Chains A and B, each alone.
Chain A
Amino acid sequence: MTEMNHNLNKESERIKELLKAAVPRIAEDAEPSRDLWPDVLRRLDREPVKVPWFDWALVGGLVVLAAAFPTAIPVFLYYL
């Protein structure tokens, strides 16, 4: 059992060595090639405007109300 564990550890260490040899470590001083702040601002601008769910519920309710009582539309518009 101990010998099996020893062999497993040995194999594991060998794979680690192979991995280290195949995949070089990233330099400690690696830095972006440019200032990324303008990209962040652009990304923030691209964010779609989110409408809260209760706003959609209100619009849906008004549409249903208008369909059920069309004569109430002028009264509703008068009070807007």
Chain B
Amino acid sequence: MPESSKNVLDRFRQGDADAFEEIFREQQTTVYRWILRIVRDKGTAEDLTVETFWRIYRAHARFDPARGFEPWARQIATHVALDWLRARKPESEITPAVEATLTAAGGSDPGVQAEIRTKTAEAFTRLPAKLRAAAVLAVVEEQPHKVIAGSLGISVTAVKLRVFRALRLLRKDLEHQGIRP
């Protein structure tokens, strides 16, 4: 958010609804994309964006302008997305529509067989929410570790550890399914 918006942020902190709308208009796409990267479903990402901004508005008095709006919003959005991931049952996560997206044209490596891609995607949905979020943001979305750490409220080292654990669990899951990566 540019420096000229400092006044808007100050008004938002005091609970000004117009300032909140202005911030929403400016930030909704950024927040939506971040959530979409974690939950991987457009409709859900829209619902969770609404939930995120509701939480942002409720927490307006705790907002620290010195810290910046985006990192703060990203952290709230990440918590909302993680809550959603935790509430979902892993076996119900891959709907036919999502599976089609995951396995048809989505793969960046055409050499990887469709069956392996499907099984990898399924194993991915079985990862614990916090490992899954760290892995997808770091490996698939290639977000900087520092940004991921800020959004999860942990250190960069902890992010790397979570990614490592996620990859190890994925390997074990695939081996269990008879796939030797």
Query: Measuring CB to CB, which residues of chain A are less than 8 angstroms from any residue of chain B?
Result: 11-12, 14-26, 30-34, 36-37, 39-40, 43-44, 47
Residues of chain B contacted by A34 (CB below 8 angstroms): 46
Q: Is residue B116 contacting chain A, with contact meaning CB distance below 8 A? A: yes
- Taking the closest CB of chain A, its distance from the CB of B123, in whole angstroms, is 9
A44 pairs with B140, CB closer than 8 A:
no
Residue of A nearest to B169 (CB): A15
Residue of B nearest to A38 (CB): B50
Cβ < 8 Å to A, chain B residues 45-84: 45-46, 49-51, 53-54, 57-58
A23 pairs with B49, CB closer than 8 A:
no
Could you tell me the dominant secondary structure of chain B's interface residues? helix
A30 pairs with B33, CB closer than 8 A:
yes
How many A-B pairs with Cβ below 8 Å? 117
A40 pairs with B50, CB closer than 8 A:
yes
Residues of chain A contacted by B50 (CB below 8 angstroms): 36, 39-40, 43
A40 pairs with B36, CB closer than 8 A:
no
B170 pairs with A19, CB closer than 8 A:
yes
Cβ < 8 Å to A, chain B residues 85-136: 101-103, 105-109, 112, 116-118, 120-121, 124, 135-136
- Docked Cα-Cα span, A23 to B174, in Å, equals 15
- Docked Cα-Cα span, A70 to B107, in Å, equals 77
A30 pairs with B141, CB closer than 8 A:
no
A14 pairs with B181, CB closer than 8 A:
yes
Q: Is residue B145 contacting chain A, with contact meaning CB distance below 8 A? A: no
A23 pairs with B136, CB closer than 8 A:
yes
B109 touches which of A20, A30, A47 (Cβ 8 Å): A20
- Taking the closest CB of chain A, its distance from the CB of B72, in whole angstroms, is 17
Among A22, A31, A37, the most chain B Cβ lie within 10 Å of the Cβ of A22
Q: Is residue B19 contacting chain A, with contact meaning CB distance below 8 A? A: no
Among A11, A26, A39, the most chain B Cβ lie within 10 Å of the Cβ of A26
A44 pairs with B54, CB closer than 8 A:
yes
Q: Is residue B42 contacting chain A, with contact meaning CB distance below 8 A? A: yes
